[in-house]
Structure 1
Amino acid sequence: MPNPRHLGTESLIGEWLDDPAGRTVLIDLLARRSPDARALYAIRKLPLSSLMSLSHGAVTPEYLDLMVHAANRLRDEPAVPPATSHLFPSAAPQAPNDWEEPIIEGRFDGKTVVVTGASSGIGRATALRVAREGGHVLAIDLSTLRMEALLEENPELGITGIVADISSQSDVNKIAVQARGRVDCLAVVAGIADNMVALHEVEDELWESVFRINVDGPFRLSRAIIPLMLSRGAGSIVNVSSQAGLRGSIAGAAYTASKHAVIGMTRSAAFIYSPRGIRVNAVIPRPTKTALESNYGSLGGAGPLPTASLTSPEVEAAQIASPMTYLLSDDAANVTGAILPADEGWGVA
């Protein structure tokens, strides 16, 4: 007969988190499979067994049994704590949705900031953060409807909307004219995915469309904006790459190659323009709910994916916008050539 004091698979996640041994097992063991352990605090009222469905099978019944055995063994046979253990209490980490965006008033006062992909996801969060911190944002996006929504919902902010395709040279020229001779910062966020298609299955149209948006667009827009920065001897560019820009197990061939190209372009530009006052960096986000759509339709291209985050889409995007705006701002005055992961540690697994 099971000990009523023991934790089990039907014990609430809150019970596990409130128990020192249970919390140790959840945070230390579960985090080895996903860095989303903090998200557990958002589902305290669900049983531990719910992790099987929430993780889409990444957490198996066998793994749950292992966790139960480990937690109850810790409870029944506690190790003798070191003499200094009381100096280092184990506190519950903040739940992901409890994070609040730390607006820094006036950080972008007097600055003109171009943000692509600005009407949704990370681009939208970046545009709003910059505008709330005093910047004049030139918000670039392909979607007229989403752009209208962005402007209508934030009339009090300094946002100018431009519906444009940055892979089109004529549209890039239009953006440069709208900048009226001055751009202090450029955030290149827009991009598309590739449905996890393996190399031998990639059709010309897919390859060309992914490179047109993910590489040609940032190239053309940066080429147009950099002279405006050179004329002032100052500027900051932040590109969005991906874990697919660092390793080969994240996406299909086209997307992976395109994001490697973004990192190469970032590093080259950082080296060349650093002596001339322009900083160029890249942020590596983890996949988010507001990120690029992909149906992962190719079995040949299937690769590992992180477990689903329980953080709200708005908070997820804002958490990526935070390092984006840091790198754009003068707070990062001595940072260039950085490839900064903003992925809750997913990339180190």
Structure 2
Amino acid sequence: MPHPVQPLTIDSLIGDWLDHPAGHTVMIDLLARRSPDARALYAVRKLPLSSLVTLSNGVVTTDYLDLMVEAANRLMDESVQPATAHLFPSAPPPAPNDWVEPLVEGRFDGKTVVVSGAASGIGRATALRVAREGGHVIAVDLSTLRMEALLETDTDLDISGVVADISNQSDVNKIAVMAQGRVDGLAVVAGIADNMVALHEVEDELWESVFRINVDGPFRLSRALIPLMLSRGTGSIVNVSSQAGLRGSIAGAAYTASKHAVIGLTRSAAFIYSPRGIRVNAVIPRPTRSALESNYGSLGGAGPLPSPTLTSPEIESAQIASPMAYLLSDDAANVTGAIMPADEGWGVA
């Protein structure tokens, strides 16, 4: 005989709520209205529901939790009419690390794709994704050690590595020579952050270094490789911008201005080169633990931040590499000038 389902309270463990036949639907539906990343609940399975008041800094109140308790236990009451059963219809979301990268075999067969910032984070995930789908990748990064680690990841993959600074013209020329006259895709991922420094505190050295990598780099690398695409009448460029390229509350002055510039560069190039067969798009990722390091606790960084995630850094980056690979591939043959969010809805909060 099955054990009866125990009623839920605000002192019940969050794990018990997630495993409860009615509790999980109430928790996901109601808390999704208070946080864009309900998956973070998996991190606190062993804490009582009441702990959400403290963890949310008061966004979730005790009164709100009382409503959840009432709703969950009401749904378990056999006297509840079927007409009300639709009020909490959601199933729990998958656990953060359940995602499996959906490789498209042969999608990049015969294609050469240049990836900057390729030895870590989103760049590394993009390089590996393209190579696993059959492409030849020219991986570019400043770090010799990280590059060596990338090349040793899977020696069966067709990845050529070059240690180079994309803001340095002689290094960019070296990358163009390595392409041997053919580039089908370019993913410009390399970038640096600015520690959330406010405009009046920005020193010349910080401003110049952020623009040198985040703007001059994409400009120089694209300028060098676009002629190779024009010679064949086809190609795809994918830049990585940021929520800081869309609004002013995410980063410091230098980084925000630089990422706005990347979007402007993307749209201008899309307009000019689309009639000549070259697509140019940008991806807007959410901050990942394997992405840029930045001091989000500084006085300049008072803007909203994404909720914490349990997803491993590798999966976080691979999930952003998916739209990168899509835009690089012929699957996106009619997509150009797009500024594509890959941020789990953070940008709409």
What is the TM-score with the length of structure 2 in the denominator? Answer: 0.91
- Separation in 1 of the partners of 2:50 and 2:130? 42
- Separation in 2 of the partners of 1:61 and 1:246? 28
Residues 21 and 59 (structure 1), Cα distance of their counterparts in 2 relative to 1, 3 Å cut: farther
Q: Which residues of 2 match residues 154-173 of structure 1 at below 5 A?
A: 154-173=154-173
- Separation in 1 of the partners of 2:159 and 2:291? 22
Which residue in the other structure is 1:184 paired with? 184
Q: Which residues of 2 match residues 52-201 of structure 1 at below 5 A?
A: 59-60=56-57, 63-75=60-72, 77=74, 80-82=81-83, 85=86, 89-201=89-201
- Separation in 2 of the partners of 1:111 and 1:76? 57
The 8 Å contact of residues 164 and 171 in structure 1, kept in 2 or not, is answered as: yes
Residues 246 and 81 (structure 1), Cα distance of their counterparts in 2 relative to 1, 3 Å cut: farther
Task: Identify unmatched segments of 5+ residues in structure 1.
Answer: none
- Separation in 2 of the partners of 1:171 and 1:294? 26
Which residue in the other structure is 2:242 paired with? 242
Which residue in the other structure is 2:32 paired with? 31
Q: 1:183-224 CA deviation, whole Å, 9 max, x = no partner? A: 000000010000000111111111110000000000000000
Task: Identify unmatched segments of 5+ residues in structure 2.
Answer: 1-5
- Separation in 1 of the partners of 2:71 and 2:150? 52
One-letter identity of the residue aligned with 1:145: L
Q: 1:2-33 CA deviation, whole Å, 9 max, x = no partner? A: xx83321x422221123355334432333334
Which residue in the other structure is 1:230 paired with? 230
- Offset at 1:152? 1.6
One-letter identity of the residue aligned with 1:34: S
- Offset at 1:319? 0.3
Which residue in the other structure is 2:311 paired with? 311
The 8 Å contact of residues 127 and 139 in structure 2, kept in 1 or not, is answered as: yes
- Offset at 1:94? 1.3
Deviates more, 1:327-336 or 1:292-301: 292-301
Q: 1:40-70 CA deviation, whole Å, 9 max, x = no partner? A: 2455344335557xxxx66036725234211
Q: 1:264-323 CA deviation, whole Å, 9 max, x = no partner? A: 111111111110000000000000111100123631343221122111101100000001
- Separation in 2 of the partners of 1:89 and 1:306? 26
- Separation in 1 of the partners of 2:161 and 2:299? 40
How many pairs does the alignment contain?
340
Which residue in the other structure is 2:3 paired with? none
- Separation in 1 of the partners of 2:9 and 2:39? 20
Q: 1:59-100 CA deviation, whole Å, 9 max, x = no partner? A: 0367252342111221455575538949x9532221120000
Other structure's SS at 2:83 match:
coil
- Separation in 2 of the partners of 1:278 and 1:206? 33
The 8 Å contact of residues 120 and 290 in structure 1, kept in 2 or not, is answered as: yes
Other structure's SS at 2:300 match:
helix
The 8 Å contact of residues 249 and 303 in structure 1, kept in 2 or not, is answered as: yes
Identity %: 79
Q: 1:108-144 CA deviation, whole Å, 9 max, x = no partner? A: 0000000000000000000000000000000000000
Moved over 4 A (4+): 49-52, 76-81
Residues 84 and 300 (structure 1), Cα distance of their counterparts in 2 relative to 1, 3 Å cut: closer
